Amino acid sequence: MSTEERDFDTDLEDLASAEDFLNYFDIPYDASVVHVNRLHILQRFHDYLAKQEAGKAPDYEAYRKWLTLAYQDFVKSDALTERVFSVLQKANGSAFMPAGDIFK
């Protein structure tokens, strides 16, 4: 591992919030979008990174690309539409309970 890779990894370890990531990767953002969707943005970012080519370690530019896409998903849409977390995926507006279960 080169010094540059170690520095990048160390920098990433120090990032804690969505704002930290966006600032580090120099991505302009609307604070009101991030305030409402911070966890969703970070989870989508993680999901994008997980879909990277196997064996290919992401670099600064790859991270920046995926974080920009994750942020833009929530600029154009919202958490309920995007359904990033499994609890929202399962609660897809349909809750079924057999009538017989209501009266037990």
CA 38, chain centre distance (Å): 8
* pLDDT band at residue 87 using 50, 70 and 90 as cut-offs: very low
Domain regions of the chain by residue span: 3-92
**For the chain, percent helix, then strand, then coil, each to nearest 5?**
65, 0, 35
Question: Tens digits of per-residue pLDDT, 19-74?
Answer: 999 999 999 999 999 998 998 899 889 888 888 766 677 789 999 999 999 999 98
| Residue keyed to tokens 């370690």 | 57
CA angle, 84 as apex, 63 and 78 as ends, to 5°? 95
pLDDT score of 59: 87
pLDDT score of 85: 54
CA atoms within 13 A on the CB side of 85: 12
Residue 88 has pLDDT above 50, yes or no: no
Question: Tens digits of per-residue pLDDT, 72-82?
Answer: 998 887 666 66
Of residues 86 and 68, more confidently modeled:
68
